[in-house]
Chain A
């Protein structure tokens, strides 16, 4: 065996390693930061569109939280404060690419064009997945942590084997990176050079457990290097940076260069869900500090500063978001009737004799109750 030179090793390592500090294009006050090497800022039309989507996304999120308080939803895991990630993830993909989201990524689904009522079917309790994954190229929102990352890898591998230039993107949180499936997915994707982007939204908490209890790595993005996966970390509240990096990651995968891991540093402004009490594990001061890093106000200040966004634009976007929320409220304030007999219809393509018997039993019970 010929020894590998230290220089060659270092070069190989460095090709996988993330930047020492998270990539950032826009400072918290909206002013332009020095442009980071290796990434191209999205154009103004893209940023304008991203802002519009973030406004709607934020409004959707607060509306869903309100619907939970009114008893219309069983539970809602808010992503308020993570809109730059939610929207950039969707904008970086083509329509024929696949998205593999978690339960906290409803805003991304809405931005992808999935009917918000169908997005909320799961949380409303009418069924599990309410939308058509094939038509939307959005996998069912995944609750078992990190399991969806392997599915994204499999889907990416399927598309690669057919010679298609399509990409799969898996969303995952900081807590999910501790699960074995995350590591197996990175490893499999690297070995097969599957066109998959792993997008970690590090919002600092896994329910109540802070990041320091989750990982001792300098950043979660470093988890890619051991698997030979190109990795990057980015300011997750800077839409410009997240979109620039995710676009580069998607291009990298689409071009046949294998998987890409992106960690976005962001913050979950609300509790884990409405059923959680975040004051038990974090200080108000910490939450308050993150308020100044709000991704929506940052992009707004930035676009206003560049003359891309006017008062009229902002008013128009907010009005559109209000109309969106009003429509959602109206459609969510009606009771859906789901036929309990449907419970037997999708276990198998053809129900087994036993399922037919049980279906008849439930049908008889329903008839007896009606009499």
Chain B
């Protein structure tokens, strides 16, 4: 499980989980869930196009993810944003379908691009994926405070001289980067689960932003590592495990949060003296 080609998978999976959780945290915070679902599908078209004309898939993934993210944001400003997102999403999926149907290995390639492939990261892709991952992490760290401020209290961010449209642009670029590296491993459809589920689970458990980000990264790592191991052992598609484990993490965290709420609301007076003695 840890030998030869699987090393690529573990290294890429770890990076993917960290970046996806970081970007996902802001996607949840900004209510950009649908966008997070749409952009990876653009990457799918890119990978399909790259395999058609025979260039490195990372290049195709990157170009299409970026074009998709910027295109959606440009069109959204002039119309109903959710309808525009839906239309751009299906256009990119349709393009991916066209590229794949014109190339040779149709079904197998389609399946692994959409639902992930545990050996989807080849050695020639590992270096660009790792580089993109590091750039993504650095970008989120640099943008952390302004992005947080403009996501939570846009007015204050505005007053401090932060340009919301420029921040939005930076966020979109980082999201496109993140999807570029994730799609070959996790698949275009399930990338979204990896971004949103750990972040949403973490947010329902802790409220401090930094702690929530840390927890989101931890959860994403657990989900990704377990998914890789389970997919390797069972030979089932890795996307299934990512989707199922992500949903499980979310449901469990919701249940935990609800129980904590109830306990806090219930025997509150009894808890007070104990606190006083401590």
Whether A associates with B in a native complex is no
